[in-house]
Amino acid sequence: MNKKIEKSLNEQISLEFYSSNLYLAMASWAEVNGFSGTAAFLYKHAEEERIHMLKLMHFINERGGQGLSPGSEVPPKSFKSVKALFQEVLDHEVVVTNEINNLVGLCLSEKDFTTHNFLQWYVSEQLEEENLARTILDKLKLIGNDGSGMYHFDRDIQTLTAISASASGTPTAK
């Protein structure tokens, strides 16, 4: 396969791997701080990111390239609050979206329409992930410092898929 595209797809593998590790670190922090629902949500999210990584790896291999097992920088282990944590999720997803967009742009300039087509799944996924992170943050802003609001938030977030949001912007259960 086109070497430039193979290299960029491998960089995306690293980023998805970091996403998985970041959400794993967040899940663990939430668990030890008593937010068990938030932890369950983030553990699931970490698994999903690993699947995103594997999907890229298989795609590269099927097209005659080689997916590389990524190293990863160590993610932070503590977070100021649940709200700060989800702000970080959103900021990170915006970075991932930009990288996917760069990849799509590269495919067009290299006339690699097969990879372009493959990446459309990631384009839609990023839209949903950003949407869900924003919806969660909106809820947390409304809750503010209300303890009972946080209790209900932590209970309800367990019913959400790691990343899915309806067209209306409301998180949906799967």
> Based on CB atoms, which residue is closest to ligand OFO, 140 or 163?
163
Distances (CA, A) of 61 to 1, 68, 117, 139: 9, 10, 16, 41
> Based on CB atoms, which residue is closest to ligand OFO, 6 or 16?
16
> Based on CB atoms, which residue is closest to ligand OFO, 39 or 163?
163
Query: Distance between CA 47 and CA 39 in Å, rounded?
Result: 12
**Residues found near ligand OFO in the complex (CB under 6 A):** 16, 19, 49, 52, 93, 96, 125, 129
Name the nearest CA neighbour of 75 among 140, 23, 141.
Answer: 23
CB of 93 to ligand OFO, least distance (A): 5
H helices present in the chain, as ranges: 3-32, 36-62, 82-109, 113-143, 147-156
CB of 58 to ligand OFO, least distance (A): 15
Name the nearest CA neighbour of 26 among 13, 8, 7, 40.
Answer: 40
CB of 137 to ligand OFO, least distance (A): 15
CB of 45 to ligand OFO, least distance (A): 8
> Based on CB atoms, which residue is closest to ligand OFO, 88 or 152?
88
